[in-house]
Amino acid sequence: MAMGISMSTNFDADRKVWAGMKKQVLYDPNASIGQVIYSRLSSNLKNIIQINDSEGITFTNEDVLTMSVRIALSLQEKEVKQTDFIGIMSSNTSYLMPLCYGLFFTNIPFHPVDATFTKDVVAHCWSKTRPKILFCDGSVFNIVKEVSEELKLNCEIYVIKDKVEGAKHIEDLFEDRGFSERLFYPEDISSGNNTAVVVCSSGSVGLPKAVTISHRSLTTMCSF
Kindly report, residue by residue over 46-76, the tens digit of the pLDDT: 999 999 998 899 999 999 999 999 999 999 9
Give per-residue burial for 42-55: e unless 16+ CB within 10 Å, then b: eeeeeeebeeeeee
pTM over 0.95: no
Q: What is the pLDDT of residues 110-140, one digit of tens each?
A: 999 999 999 999 999 999 999 999 999 999 9
Give percent of the chain above pLDDT 70: 94
Q: Reply yes or no on whether the pLDDT at 1 is more than 90.
A: no
Q: Reply yes or no on whether the pLDDT at 32 is more than 50.
A: yes
Q: Reply yes or no on whether the pLDDT at 82 is more than 80.
A: yes
Q: How far apart are CA 137 and CA 156, in angstroms?
A: 14
Q: In the chain, count of helices (H) and strands (E)?
A: 7, 11
CB 82 within 8 A of CB 107: yes
| Residue ranges of domains in the chain | 27-221
Burial class (CB in 10 A: 0-12, 13-18, 19+), 85: buried
| CATH label, 27-221, candidates 3.90.1200.10, 3.40.50.12780, 3.20.20.220, 3.30.390.50 | 3.40.50.12780
How many residues appear in the chain? 224
- Mean pLDDT of all residues in the chain? 91
What's the pLDDT score for residue 101?
97
Q: How far apart are CA 14 and CA 140, in angstroms?
A: 48
Q: Reply yes or no on whether the pLDDT at 142 is more than 90.
A: yes
Q: Reply yes or no on whether the pLDDT at 202 is more than 80.
A: no
**3 vs 163: which has the higher pLDDT:** 163
Burial class (CB in 10 A: 0-12, 13-18, 19+), 177: middle
Per DSSP, the three-state class of 197 is strand
Q: Find, among 167, 198, 161, the residue nearest to 87 by Cα.
A: 198
